[in-house]
Structure 1
């Protein structure tokens, strides 16, 4: 399964008899009561020397909401061999992700407040809906321009509940998130673990979470609420990705070393969710020496 914006290297071994072979692709939709385009595509491989003009029928696709198939795909993802996964962790983050509802403040609610219970749809990480400022955060950070962001993104959700099964989705005030441009600062070279927990506020859903500036190892994932005592991690040959589809009603654990100084966006790759605030910024501080520090802006940097 590939989420929006996700890439993967696939090795195709052409060791079959000369002929034509099909490959089918279909949509996956994990959210409840959401309309989408259920359109499938078919591609073909044709060996040199094949004379047949008949294309084989495409292989049958699973149902569009078959989460078990998605888990089976994840079970099969591995690196080519043992890798250097961070074993000791310096920074632990537990981040809830999902949709929520804000109170309606519009003077025309019938037009602008079409979320559940007459509210406004939003999205958040750890109950914080990210607001993009009107200035480059990298520029604000590098030039120490105050007033555009804070460094207080919580390492743990501000509201704790049964994230998957008993999310507060009845009263808009219970599902509201705070808003702000809140960032999390990481020391250079720190070994980071992030638990990404899907929530059932409004609906559980497979969210493709993408991190700029770093790749990461997906060391674990599962259904339901994350429980450290029951979680099983692969610290030998986990897949190395920059986007992970967090299981619907489940969790994913990623690890990486923060060795790329800068201001890095981590967000859901569903554009609507991104616009609603399902994102956060990680700031990786400079290390020691010129090779571990942000370079100076180029002299010919374009100005807005």
Structure 2
């Protein structure tokens, strides 16, 4: 069996990304949105496993920008990782910066997106990583591959939406629609009286197999995705293969990617693909349904597409039963290397917390406070100089190295009627220092404070092994006995359950500064972030590649 590959020209590995503001119309509303090369979603990148690509970003817009290559480990090269004020200073309007993308063991689907404020809402695109020449997929070759990017549309400027929320201390506005490949679908005609709001259509041939490269690029919500009367066989996630999971419904968190095989094996007709929110907590969310249409080739009947039966927004059983099935492929061709123990365990609470309202102001958070968020009661503050440059050049006063490895105020994290005094977080820029090759276990602990919900936690620069999760408070004596250390999935974004815990493990063998944060953007904007400073190893091959000229703050 031969691998299915594209045949890129030399230019495919050297791209110019021009950031501009382009007028788009959705739901009767026209606004300028940030785009790359005028496209929403942005351009796809096609590479082979182990390649290197060069991306020159030219910022012709009025906003600062950085780009992050989500799921790309960038060995020894954190200078091109992208989070603003962590790995680099932003690319200012009128300036440009060249990213070097070093692909290593990733294979499957990852993605790229902006990492400055809320600009990633429209600045994002798929990255398709094909097997090396001479190797193959661990499944029958698909006849075609189709990116399916789930996102949002806001009738308003997203940068102003989050800026206003931070000023008032309240929740940011919800989106007005969910989109598939940038289009909301025709169900919105019932709400908006303008012309067809736009619907992505996928043409299929009976009997053929299609690899859907599904990406949740949405800002603040986990999503259910379903295709009417068609099963999906999930074969990969976050740039790594898994044991196949055949399912009717996918639950995918912001930041996650999933590769799924769809076989066109139903009666030729038109079928809706649909995306709607899985809401794990009692928090505001967009209740609408985005759609695309799967149409069998040569089917000419104009009848309405068949609609799938979607789970209820609060259907935790469906969400959990899907995510608990994930296992690494763990074969000779696709081996895994699960650390059997750890050198450092970080047990961190995840909390939507509060901060005092500024004197003389009225804020919209609980009891007149400002909404915030925190890890171990630490609400992260972006510095004015990026942390990586400060680390590399030994610039003092930018960050401190005292991020707590345990909650500073132990309490019954998932208990009821918790005192409001537990809500107030401490602000700072605190990181954890790791010696090269340290094995780290992170146990994320959800809390029942201030609107508990799932949290998709993402780690830059690494994939981690997801060992297990559970409800209630983590028990460090009994819960590790339930860990999967045989074939845990190797992912970069884990959905921590509401009022529960999730454990992951990774080996710190990629020197530099590494960002970790919630991929709900409102939580990241409020401070649910931290970073690791991974020291160089003992040899040149275990040390940082010196930086090229970087953007100035």
The two structures share one fold, judged by TM-score above 0.5 = yes
Name the residue aligned to 2:256: 6
Determine which of 436, 459, 473 is the counterpart of 1:211: 459
Please give the root-mean-square deviation of Cα atoms over the aligned residues, in Å: 1.9
Determine which of 498, 514, 534 is the counterpart of 1:264: 514
Structure 1, 75-84 or 186-195: larger mean CA deviation: 75-84
Name the residue aligned to 1:179: 427
Using structure 2 for the length normalisation, give the TM-score: 0.51
Cα 1:290–1:52 change in 2 (3 A) is farther
Structure 1, 243-252 or 227-236: larger mean CA deviation: 227-236
What whole-Å deviation, never above 9, does each CA across 1:256-276 have from its counterpart, x for those lacking one?
Answer: 111111111100111211111
What whole-Å deviation, never above 9, does each CA across 1:17-40 have from its counterpart, x for those lacking one?
Answer: 4624443221112222x3221111
**Does residue 100 of the first structure (1) align with residue 349 of the second (2)?**
no
Name the residue aligned to 1:90: 343
- Give, in angstroms, the shift of residue 79 of structure 1: 1.6
Using structure 1 for the length normalisation, give the TM-score: 0.91
**Inter-partner Cα distance in structure 2 for 1:154 and 1:294:** 26
Equivalent pair of 1:22/1:55 in contact (CA under 8 Å)? no
Taking the TM superposition and a 5 Å limit, the aligned residue runs for 1:162-201 are 162-166=412-416, 168=418, 170-171=419-420, 173-201=421-449
More strand by share: 2
Equivalent pair of 1:18/1:48 in contact (CA under 8 Å)? no
Equivalent pair of 1:188/1:285 in contact (CA under 8 Å)? yes
| 1:272 aligned counterpart, secondary structure | helix
**Inter-partner Cα distance in structure 2 for 1:243 and 1:54:** 40
**Inter-partner Cα distance in structure 1 for 2:475 and 2:546:** 43
| 1:70 aligned counterpart, secondary structure | helix
Taking the TM superposition and a 5 Å limit, the aligned residue runs for 1:1-304 are 1-10=251-260, 12-14=261-263, 16-17=265-266, 19-20=268-269, 21-32=271-282, 34-48=283-297, 50=299, 52-54=301-303, 56-81=305-330, 83-109=336-362, 113-166=363-416, 168=418, 170-171=419-420, 173-228=421-476, 229-231=478-480, 232-298=482-548, 300-304=549-553
What whole-Å deviation, never above 9, does each CA across 1:226-257 have from its counterpart, x for those lacking one?
Answer: 12304511111211211111111111111111
**Inter-partner Cα distance in structure 2 for 1:38 and 1:216:** 32
Equivalent pair of 1:164/1:204 in contact (CA under 8 Å)? no
Structure 1, 184-193 or 53-62: larger mean CA deviation: 53-62
**Inter-partner Cα distance in structure 1 for 2:277 and 2:357:** 33
**Inter-partner Cα distance in structure 1 for 2:451 and 2:423:** 12
**Inter-partner Cα distance in structure 2 for 1:42 and 1:70:** 20
- Give, in angstroms, the shift of residue 102 of structure 1: 2.3
**Inter-partner Cα distance in structure 2 for 1:191 and 1:287:** 14
Structure 1, 224-233 or 88-97: larger mean CA deviation: 224-233
**Inter-partner Cα distance in structure 2 for 1:44 and 1:205:** 31
- Give, in angstroms, the shift of residue 178 of structure 1: 1.4
- Give, in angstroms, the shift of residue 224 of structure 1: 1.2
**Inter-partner Cα distance in structure 1 for 2:264 and 2:294:** 12
- Give, in angstroms, the shift of residue 220 of structure 1: 0.1
Cα 1:140–1:230 change in 2 (3 A) is closer
| 2:257 aligned counterpart, secondary structure | coil
**Inter-partner Cα distance in structure 1 for 2:417 and 2:370:** 17
**Inter-partner Cα distance in structure 2 for 1:126 and 1:222:** 19
Count the aligned residue pairs. Answer: 296
What whole-Å deviation, never above 9, does each CA across 1:82-138 have from its counterpart, x for those lacking one?
Answer: 6321102111110111111223332122xxx22112222111000111111001100
Q: Greater RCO between the two (CA within 8 Å, min separation 6)? A: 1
What 5-or-longer segments of structure 1 have no aligned partner?
Answer: none
- Give, in angstroms, the shift of residue 64 of structure 1: 0.8
